[in-house]
Amino acid sequence: MTTRPIIILPDPKLKLVSDPVTRVDDDARALMDDMLETMYHAPGIGLAAIQVGIPTRIVVVDVTRDEDNKEPLCLVNPEIIWLSEETAIYEEGCLSIPEYYEEVERPAQCKVSYLDRKGEACEIHCDGLLSTCIQHEIDHLNGVLFIDHLSRLKRDRVIRRFTKAQKQESNA
C-alpha cells in the first residue's frame, strides 16, 4: 500500500467523467488499498479514484474518523438508485480543494448500488454524514465538485483563488 498524490483544483482531470470498472481484479483492489491509505493519511473521509488522477469509477469512504475502529467502504461502479425528498445541510470540504469549506444542501438519505471488493453486487442505504459523503464522491465520478453546488459567485471566487495559487507555485 502506498499513498498517492492527490490532484488539486483547477486540475482539468477533476472535470472528467470516470469510466466503469469492467472487472474487479487484483489491480482494482490494489488501487482501492492505495486510495484508502491516501485518504487516511490526508486525512479525509472519502476519496474518488480521479482524485489520484485515475478516471475509473471507484470510491472509498470511512466516516467513522476513529483510528482504532476503522470502517472502510470500497464502492466500485456506485450508482444512486434512490434519493430522499428530505434534505440535509453539511459543511463540506474536499481533499482536492484543501482548506475550503462551505455548506451544501443535499438529499438527506440515499440508496446506492455498487460492487464490493470481491466484485459482488451490494446495496447500501445511507443517511447522515455517510449519505452526504457518498453523494459527494459519486459526484467526483461524474466530474462534479461540491463547489458546483454553490452559487456561481462563490464557485468563481474559489476557482480564481486556486488558479492564482497554482500560478504562483509554478512561478516560484
Closest approach of Zn ion to the CB of residue 44, in Å: 8
What is the residue type of 163?
T
* Chain residues in the site for Zn ion (CB under 5 A): 94
Closest approach of Zn ion to the CB of residue 101, in Å: 12
Catalytic residues, by residue number, are: 137
Query: Hey, what's the cell of 23?
Result: 472487472
Q: Which is nearer to Zn ion, 114 or 146 (CB)?
A: 146
Query: Hey, what's the cell of 40?
Result: 487516511
Cβ atoms of 116 and 74 closer than 8 Å:
yes
DSSP alpha helix (H) spans, the chain: 26-41, 128-141, 152-171
Q: Which is nearer to Zn ion, 77 or 96 (CB)?
A: 96
Q: Which is nearer to Zn ion, 28 or 45 (CB)?
A: 45
Which residue of the chain is nearest Zn ion when measured via CB?
94
Nearest CA among 139, 134, 19 for reference residue 77: 19
Closest approach of Zn ion to the CB of residue 166, in Å: 17
